[in-house]
């Protein structure tokens, strides 16, 4: 692989080509994104997102607290956080896909939180926000689809206020051998077939499974977070490491 190349699934592609291919995947699955996550996690993504918001711990008071949820077009995390937090909490959902944002906007409207959650189109690698604008930054199942992870982490650090927290929920490396074999079979043999049957499209699901296997393991990703400037970096494995929540602070 050329040093300038990156990956799309297991294929080597240029960084410019990869972003377009990823955008195409999410354009295809936007209306079925919740179904996609249900297929890929056996429904556990809902519990994992609840755990993410529990760790976020938005204040229950009317003290101002501003959350940025990146690659969060479905608004799942933002809605959960606003339900848990007090009157001073607000959220901005930033996603590169207009189709995903349209899907999320419908959910925000149905939740009655249009005045509390704003949705803005933007790239995780070049966020359209000023320095030190947010108290917390979350990204759930989105960082592995970023072309330049180090750049996205640097942007996360930039937009967080001093004392702000970075939280990332992502599929990771299972550390239970038997469970790992079961999950590998489910991922490569079952999920693409279910995607074809339930959503009429096998290829996006095949890519998403492959992108999980290409994502760095827990310790490697934690090192990238430290390299971006974050301190007190840690991670918590979920369901034997099938997913993990990484945490870091801008001190």
Residue 218's pLDDT is what?
96
Q: Which residue is associated with the tokens 């918590």? A: 236
pLDDT tens for each residue of 114-171: 999 999 999 999 999 999 999 999 999 999 888 899 999 999 999 999 999 999 999 8
Length of the chain: 251
> Hey, which residues does 157 pair with through a beta bridge?
none
pLDDT tens for each residue of 28-82: 666 667 776 676 677 788 899 999 999 999 999 999 999 999 999 889 999 999 9
Predicted TM-score (pTM) of the model is 0.84
Rg, the chain, Cα only: 17
Terminal CA-CA length for the chain:
37
Q: What is the percent of the chain where pLDDT is above 90?
A: 58
Residue 51's pLDDT is what?
97
Determine which helix (DSSP H) or strand (DSSP E) holds 26, and give its type and residue range: helix 15-29
CATH number for the domain formed by residue range(s) 20-249: 3.40.50.150
The string over 155-168, giving b where at least 16 C-beta atoms fall within 10 Å of a residue's C-beta and e elsewhere, is bbbbbbeeebbbbb
> Torsions phi, psi of 246, nearest 5?
-100, 140
Residue 173's pLDDT is what?
86
């Amino acid at each position: 692989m050329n040093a300038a190349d990156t990956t799309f699934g297991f294929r080597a592609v240029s960084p410019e080509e990869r972003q377009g291919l990823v955008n195409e995947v999410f354009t295809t699955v936007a209306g079925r994104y919740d179904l996609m996550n249900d297929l890929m996690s056996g429904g556990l993504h809902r519990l994992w997102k609840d755990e993410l918001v529990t760790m976020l711990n938005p204040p229950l008071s009317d003290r101002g607290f501003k959350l940025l949820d990146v690659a969060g077009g479905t608004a799942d995390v933002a809605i959960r956080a606003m339900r848990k937090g007090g009157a001073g909490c607000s959220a901005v959902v930033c996603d590169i896909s207009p189709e995903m944002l349209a899907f999320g906007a419908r959910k925000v409207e149905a939740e009655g939180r249009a005045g509390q959650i704003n949705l803005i189109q933007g790239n995780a690698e070049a966020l359209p926000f000023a320095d030190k604008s947010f108290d917390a930054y979350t990204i759930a199942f989105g960082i592995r689809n970023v072309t330049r992870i180090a750049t996205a982490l640097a942007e996360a650090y930039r937009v967080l206020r001093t004392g702000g927290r970075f939280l990332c929920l992502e599929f990771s490396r299972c550390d239970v051998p038997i469970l790992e074999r079961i999950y590998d079979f489910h991922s490569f043999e079952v999920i693409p077939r279910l995607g074809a049957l339930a959503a009429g499209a096998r290829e996006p699901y095949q890519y998403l499974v492959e992108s999980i296997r290409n994502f760095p393991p827990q310790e490697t990703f934690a090192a990238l977070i430290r390299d971006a400037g974050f301190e007190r970096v840690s991670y918590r494995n979920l369901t034997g490491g099938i997913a993990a929540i990484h945490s870091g602070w801008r001190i």
